[in-house]
Structure 1
Amino acid sequence: MSIRTKLLFSYIAMIVVPVLLLGITVTLAANVFKQDMTSQTGQADHHSRHVPFAEIRDLFSGRSEIASGLRFVAQHDPKLLSDPAFLASTESELAKVDAGMIILVDKAEAPAYASPGFSAEEVIAQLRGDNADDNGHRRYDHPGPPRGNSLDQIDYTLPGGKSASIIIVSDMEPVASFFKRFIPTVLLALLLALVLTNGVLTFFVSRSIIKPLHALRDAAGQIREGRLDHAIHLQRKDEIGQLGSAFEEMRIRLKGSINAQLQLEQSRKELLANISHDLKTPITAIQGCVDCLRGGVADTEEKRNKYIAMIGGKTTDMNRMIEELLLYSTLDIGKLPFRFETLDIAEYLSLTVEELKLDPRLSGAEIRFRNNAAATGAGGDPLLVRADREKLHRAIFNVVNNSIKHMDKTPRVLTIEIASHASHAATAAIVISDNGAGIPAEALPHVFDQFYRAESSRRPDAGSSGLGLAIVKQIIEEHGGTVEADSREGEGTAITLHLPAVQRVKLSSEESEEPL
């Protein structure tokens, strides 16, 4: 469940739960307090089974019906108000609703009729305002607090012409007592329901948010201190769980980046050590040759030529290693410019093979060239690529140079072919294969890694920096292509260079070229 949904449910619960608790409290309080009210008013027990406030409703409706009946009698048959039987019947009805009546004739001081239990003097004084002081407050002469009465006056005229009044006196004390206790109880219950609901929901919702945030804070502290082995597993599917997953992914990537950086630094150190060793060997040989020439050891022209040739060869090896270091560093920082042009790859490779046949390092080796893409080409159109002639030449020669070092069989066979692959229809695949010793299976995934060099290939006279195939990979990737290696130990190695092909499109009398 998302945090937004949790907050939405908590807001709904903060409204619904207090309302439900308030409803329950109102029901319970009304039933409890109405029992006290009914016991005070003397109503029958069957009223206690009514819903809350039913007694109050019945009380006021009963009084209203009796008052309406007396008003009708006073207007149409006032003689009944002198009939003892009618007065007794009316009195019994008034007693059921905790009320009474007083009849005053011609403003007499003494009432013509008064219900038992009601103080006629007090009612008359309250009606006439005789018990009001100078400040308008009521004043009573009888001991104890006054009763809370409600007065309803009905004026009428007797047959003899005298004026009379019926005063219906309703005792409001039970109702007032009910509301005095009921309203504070309901307000207190509402306050407690709000506090309890909001407190509980705030605790659980905030706990579900704060606890994982503390875990993320601790994880951030671990990362800040450089301890990247502390995994983050929140086991949540909400926004915080997504944040934790992002944190964990960041930790893994940061750990991998640091490990890669450490590996790179270690490789650089190994490179410096290897280059120092490989440079020291030819320098030592050159220094020895120079000492022999200076010391007169080379006392014949033949010996001097031999030492000079040795110095030249060692200098060439050193120069090649330094060039590879410079080329790799320039490629690595992206500062080497490429000049692309459209090449007929078959023609280009044919010229390259002719050049390789003149290389003294490949003397005695069989160099083969095959154009397998020509047989499947449409209409005999040449296979074109966009390439930097010089950089591609360097990549091919680096692969060939790597093959020369491992060609240990007789006869030595080097094959360069343009392959056709159904899965690479939009590429030109250049495959350079040999019948050398091959590459061990554990070393094959790393042959294009920067600074990688298998120890078995290191020889004091190899003049290798371990960057040859790494440079090949960078050059081909700058062309938008890919490289791959396939080798079987003891049988040979095949390096494949995939370059994006260019389609020749005819437009009227002009020709334009577009990448496939």
Structure 2
Amino acid sequence: MKLKTRIIISFFIIVLEPLIFTGLAFWAFSQYQFKAIEKQYGIENPTYQSLSNTAELVNNLTNEQAQLIQQVADVEPERFENIQYLTELNKELESMYSYLLVCEDRRIIYYGCEDYPSELVKKLAKVPEFTMGTSDGMYLGGKVQALVKRVDFHTDEVQEGSVFIVSNILETLPQIEELFQNMLVAVIIILSTTALGLTWWIYRGVISPLDKLRTATRRIKEGNLDFSISAEGVSEIAELCQDFEDMRQRLKENAEEKIEFDRESKELISNISHDLKTPITAVKGYVEGIMDGVANTPEKMERYIKTIYNKANEMDRLINELTFYSKMDTNKIPYTFNKISVTEFFDDCAEDLKMELDSKNVEFSYSNYVEPEVLVIADAEQIKRVVNNIVSNSLKYTSADKTRRINLRVKDVGDFIQVEIEDNGKGIAAKDLPNIFDRFYRTDSSRNSSKGGSGIGLSIVKKIMEDHGGKVWATSKENIGTVMYFVLRKYQEVPVNE
């Protein structure tokens, strides 16, 4: 759910839920009070108007006392001169929020209110004479908010006597008080429940995921990337959590790549240092021999100089390999692509290889099965580097105890030309074969000076072939030999529509 949608729903919940549940609570409590009013005040089928009309309730409440007073007025009017009787009757009326007021010949002889009701007396004096039934009363407004019932009586000594039942209609009845109390408690409960529910809902959808993001941020700040964060909460925050998790994974990958890069760089420096040390030591030894006069014949001098030259070439090759490796990592290899005749290129390449391998007592054979007109688009220098690296790698793992052989074959395989370089070395184990083109990977767990090499030769081969749109792979049998393959797409003229 989107945050915007959740906010809109929260707004309607805040507004509507309290109203709905308050309305239901009011209906339930009022129904209960209706039954209480009907039982206590004798009002049949009371309505909501009955709750607000205190006069109606009080009027019904004093009906029984009004009837009793009427009976006394008809039978024993002299009792109204008995103060004790009036006091007892007034006590009964007090529980009904009413009191007595007795007049004889327009003179008040008894009043049941603590404060003298002067305003009421003035009000009654201005009202014309009226005789009320036992169930009706007269409402007096203004400053005096009261309901008055009047019963007239006559005795031998009293010409005009009246008994007034005065009811205070401003007094809140207990049923209404209870209803207000219940509604107040209900509203507090409803608002508290709504607030707690919305708080939990928003916390679960917004605050909780943000807390997890803050914790994750702190972990990353401390360098800890070994954790995960799940996408949860509203859709915007869930998307943020997912983006954060993607960022964490990327940072972890970068950190791991950096560690691996640092390890590879240290290994490369160690390898290059080791490989440079051997030829440099040899060069220094032969130069010192020349300086000390050990090469005292033209033949010895020529052999020393030739050895120094070969060692210098070996160091140059190692430095070139290191330079190429640095460019390979930054994708800044300077390719120069041209149309190349497959036959001419590999004939020249085979001639150079034969001269080099003959000097190392390695048998070499070359077979070309490609038509002379076949062309490829390639960088001749880099393809030659591929061939030299493969041959160099083959020689490292070919024992000098037996006759070493290198076979170069060039074949036409449809849209591609396929180059095969075969040796009769010790071969590569099946478990190692998928990894031989990885940087610094060696099938030997230990490295020695007889093998040499920086460990990046075949990874350079793979990179060059990929940049040429080709591929490289190998097959091998242990103690028999290895065949390295690489393919290049043929150059084909695209016909122009006239």
| TM-score, length of structure 2 as denominator length | 0.67
Q: Which of 228, 232, 249 does residue 232 from structure 1 map onto?
A: 228
Asked whether the 8 Å contact 2:421–2:485 carries over to 1, the reply is: yes
Name the structure 2 match of 1:26.
26
In the TM superposition, residue 180 of structure 1 has moved relative to its aligned partner by 7.7
Asked whether the 8 Å contact 1:317–1:463 carries over to 2, the reply is: no
Written as runs of structure 1 = structure 2, the 5 A alignment for 1:368-447 is 368-371=366-369, 384-408=375-399, 410=403, 412-418=405-411, 420=413, 428-447=417-436
Q: Which of 112, 115, 138 does residue 133 from structure 2 map onto?
A: 115
Letter in 1 for 2:33: F
Q: Which of 264, 274, 277 does residue 277 from structure 1 map onto?
A: 274
Q: Which of 363, 367, 370 does residue 365 from structure 1 map onto?
A: 363
Asked whether the 8 Å contact 2:362–2:406 carries over to 1, the reply is: no
Asked whether the 8 Å contact 2:406–2:421 carries over to 1, the reply is: no
Q: Which of 316, 320, 323 does residue 326 from structure 1 map onto?
A: 323
Gapped runs of 5+ residues in structure 2? 55-125, 150-166
Tell me the alpha carbon deviations over residues 189-211 of structure 1, each in whole angstroms, 9 at most, x when there is no partner.
44542342122221243145333
Name the structure 2 match of 1:89.
none
Q: Which of 452, 463, 487 does residue 474 from structure 1 map onto?
A: 463
Q: Give distance in 2, aligned partners of 1:301 and 1:281.
A: 26
Quickly say closer, same or farther: Cα 1:197–1:338, change in 2 above 3 A. Answer: same
Written as runs of structure 1 = structure 2, the 5 A alignment for 1:306-325 is 306-325=303-322
Tell me the alpha carbon deviations over residues 368-388 of structure 1, each in whole angstroms, 9 at most, x when there is no partner.
33548x7xxxxxx96553322
Deviates more, 1:267-276 or 1:402-411: 402-411
Name the structure 1 match of 2:340.
343
Name the structure 1 match of 2:292.
295
Cα RMSD between the aligned structures? 4.2
Tell me the alpha carbon deviations over residues 390-444 of structure 1, each in whole angstroms, 9 at most, x when there is no partner.
22222222222222333446461413333638xxx6x554443333222344543
Quickly say closer, same or farther: Cα 1:343–1:314, change in 2 above 3 A. Answer: closer
Q: Give distance in 1, aligned partners of 2:365 and 2:331.
A: 34
Q: Give distance in 1, aligned partners of 2:180 and 2:393.
A: 98
Deviates more, 1:429-438 or 1:456-465: 456-465
Name the structure 1 match of 2:439.
450
Tell me the alpha carbon deviations over residues 294-336 of structure 1, each in whole angstroms, 9 at most, x when there is no partner.
2222333332222222222222211221222222223333333
In the TM superposition, residue 465 of structure 1 has moved relative to its aligned partner by 2.7
Q: Give distance in 2, aligned partners of 1:242 and 1:382.
A: 59
Name the structure 2 match of 1:63.
none
Q: Give distance in 1, aligned partners of 2:127 and 2:247.
A: 100
Quickly say closer, same or farther: Cα 1:110–1:265, change in 2 above 3 A. Answer: closer
Letter in 1 for 2:409: I
Tell me the alpha carbon deviations over residues 260-316 of structure 1, each in whole angstroms, 9 at most, x when there is no partner.
322222222222222222222222222222222222223333322222222222222
Q: Give distance in 1, aligned partners of 2:233 and 2:442.
A: 46
- SS of structure 2 residue aligned to 1:495: strand
- SS of structure 2 residue aligned to 1:367: strand
Gapped runs of 5+ residues in structure 1? 60-106, 127-136, 150-170, 375-380, 510-516
Asked whether the 8 Å contact 2:390–2:421 carries over to 1, the reply is: yes
Quickly say closer, same or farther: Cα 1:484–1:203, change in 2 above 3 A. Answer: same
Quickly say closer, same or farther: Cα 1:340–1:224, change in 2 above 3 A. Answer: same
Q: Give distance in 2, aligned partners of 1:430 and 1:25.
A: 91
Tell me the alpha carbon deviations over residues 181-230 of structure 1, each in whole angstroms, 9 at most, x when there is no partner.
7578657644542342122221243145333432332232222222333x
Asked whether the 8 Å contact 1:271–1:465 carries over to 2, the reply is: yes
Q: Give distance in 2, aligned partners of 1:433 and 1:242.
A: 55
Letter in 2 for 1:115: G
Quickly say closer, same or farther: Cα 1:304–1:462, change in 2 above 3 A. Answer: farther
Q: Which of 132, 135, 142 does residue 138 from structure 1 map onto?
A: 142
Residue 147 (structure 2) pairs with residue 147 (structure 1):
yes
Q: Give distance in 2, aligned partners of 1:283 and 1:30.
A: 107
Asked whether the 8 Å contact 2:231–2:242 carries over to 1, the reply is: no
Q: Between the two proteins, what is the percent identity of the paired residues?
A: 32
Residue 476 (structure 2) pairs with residue 487 (structure 1):
yes
- SS of structure 2 residue aligned to 1:493: strand
Asked whether the 8 Å contact 1:56–1:175 carries over to 2, the reply is: no
Tell me the alpha carbon deviations over residues 15-36 of structure 1, each in whole angstroms, 9 at most, x when there is no partner.
5542442232111221133234
Q: Give distance in 2, aligned partners of 1:489 and 1:242.
A: 53
Tell me the alpha carbon deviations over residues 155-187 of structure 1, each in whole angstroms, 9 at most, x when there is no partner.
xxxxxxxxxxxxxxxx99599967787578657
In the TM superposition, residue 357 of structure 1 has moved relative to its aligned partner by 3.3
Quickly say closer, same or farther: Cα 1:172–1:334, change in 2 above 3 A. Answer: same
Asked whether the 8 Å contact 1:398–1:472 carries over to 2, the reply is: yes
Letter in 2 for 1:418: K
- SS of structure 1 residue aligned to 2:340: strand
- SS of structure 2 residue aligned to 1:486: strand
Quickly say closer, same or farther: Cα 1:219–1:403, change in 2 above 3 A. Answer: same
Asked whether the 8 Å contact 1:403–1:436 carries over to 2, the reply is: yes
Name the structure 1 match of 2:100.
none
Q: Give distance in 2, aligned partners of 1:478 and 1:317.
A: 26
Q: Which of 249, 259, 264 does residue 261 from structure 2 map onto?
A: 264
- SS of structure 2 residue aligned to 1:293: helix
Quickly say closer, same or farther: Cα 1:196–1:508, change in 2 above 3 A. Answer: closer
Tell me the alpha carbon deviations over residues 90-109 of structure 1, each in whole angstroms, 9 at most, x when there is no partner.
xxxxxxxxxxxxxxxxx994
Quickly say closer, same or farther: Cα 1:304–1:413, change in 2 above 3 A. Answer: closer
Letter in 2 for 1:256: E
- SS of structure 2 residue aligned to 1:147: strand
